[in-house]
Amino acid sequence: MKIVDSTEMQWIVFSEHRGKSPDFKRLLYGDAEAPDNFHLFLVKVRDDYAAPTHRHNFDQIRFILEGSFGFGESEEDVQHAGSVGYFPEGTYYTQRGEGPSLTLLLQIGAGGKQGYMPQEGFVESERDLRERGYEFNKGIVTYTDKSGREQTIDSHQAIWENWAKTKVKFSEPRYQRPVLMNPENYNWTTLRGAKGVELKRLGVFSEYELSAGFVRLAEGAEYRDYQDENAGSLYYVLEGAGALNGERWKPETAMQVEAGETGVFVAAEESLLFKIGLPWLRDEYAPSAKSH
């Protein structure tokens, strides 16, 4: 179990590989050597940040807390405050700032089983490329190959390949485009046997069951999250206060119930939590055995 208070953390800029960078707070992270390694960030965009069309070898969940942010050319590709998006590995998308915004961002290893590059490795790899003369310009890297020819590559891909010392293998897209969800259009459902606990399940994605949703707790309600040895879940507090296994939480707190643990949430007041169910990547057995 992990609990962090994001209000006590400093905003940092750890990379400008796509130009002027947003500010980040790294809230929680996983095992760098595991296929389900992840980073959970708060991301603050202050201006018209943009990135060219690209894809990744990991999955993402993006929850817009404030403002708006675009991921395509049309208004339908814009996430507004309250919107939740699933950005699958292998699926192309763009990034386009729509003014200031604040996003809760999960980046996590996916079905391609290539894991997720840790922040420290990212920084070291980018520094190495710059020192070797690679030129970064708005998300594109230009370099000269061994035959003397000029080449271009997506900046994140260049950094990953330099870190991993191998070519990235993108999975064929499971989804044609990112999935943008409007939580206000979903209904709350009661959790059987748990008085005062309501769930809003937004979606479960891919055969490895990455999921997103909300938990609403009445004052005094108790919610139990049972995790198998091969999974885990993340929470971000939007409203209210309470305790997880006796440790207090409040708005802007991030929490992790790790594989093999049981998390007992007790609400001191009416509370609203955003929940991410982590994917099953460490063993190849039926996801249907997973408890929700």
Cα 235 to Cα 211: distance, rounded to the nearest angstrom:
12
User: Residues 220-229: what's their mean pLDDT?
Assistant: 91
pLDDT, tens digit, 9 for 90 and up, residues 41-73? 999 998 777 788 899 999 999 999 999 999 987
If DSSP codes are grouped into helix, strand and coil, which group holds residue 119?
Answer: helix
- Grouping H, G, I as helix, E, B as strand and the rest as coil, residue 149 is coil
**Exposure class string for 127-149: b at 16+ Cβ within 10 A, else e:** eebeeeebebeebbbeeeeeeee
Farthest CA pair distance, the chain: 68
Residue 87: other Cβ atoms inside 10 A: 23
Q: Where are the alpha helices (DSSP H) in 132-272?
A: 155-164
Categorize the per-residue pLDDT at 291 as very low, low, confident or very high, splitting at 50, 70 and 90.
very low
- CA triple 207-29-263, angle to 5 deg: 75
Residue 119 sits at φ, ψ, to 5 deg, of -55, -40
The model's pLDDT over 86-114, given as tens digits with 9 standing for 90+, comes to 999 999 999 888 889 999 999 999 999 89
- CA 250 to chain CA centroid, Å, is 21
- Beta carbons within 8 Å of 245's beta carbon, 6+ residues apart: 1, 263, 264
Distance CA 142, CA 126 (A): 13
Is domain 184-282 classified as CATH 3.30.360.10? no
For the chain, the straight-line distance linking the first and the last C-alpha, in angstroms and rounded, comes to: 18
Evaluate the CA torsion angle 129, 134, 140, 145 in order and state its sign.
Answer: negative
CA 28 to each of CA 4, 121, 182, 219, 220: distance values in angstroms, whole numbers, following the listed order? 8, 16, 25, 27, 27
State the pLDDT at residue 138.
83
Q: What is the pLDDT of residues 119-152, one digit of tens each?
A: 889 999 999 999 999 999 888 999 998 899 999 9
Domain boundaries, the chain: 184-282
What is the three-class DSSP state of 49? Answer: coil
Query: If you write DSSP's letter for every residue of 254-287 in order, what string do you get?
Result: EEEE-TT-EEEEEESS-EEEEEEEPP--SS-S-G
pLDDT band at 161 (very low <50, low <70, confident <90, very high): very high
Q: State residue 270 phi and psi, 5-degree precision.
A: -55, 130
| Structural contact between residues 236 and 254, judged by C-beta atoms closer than 8 angstroms | yes
Q: What is the pTM of this model?
A: 0.92
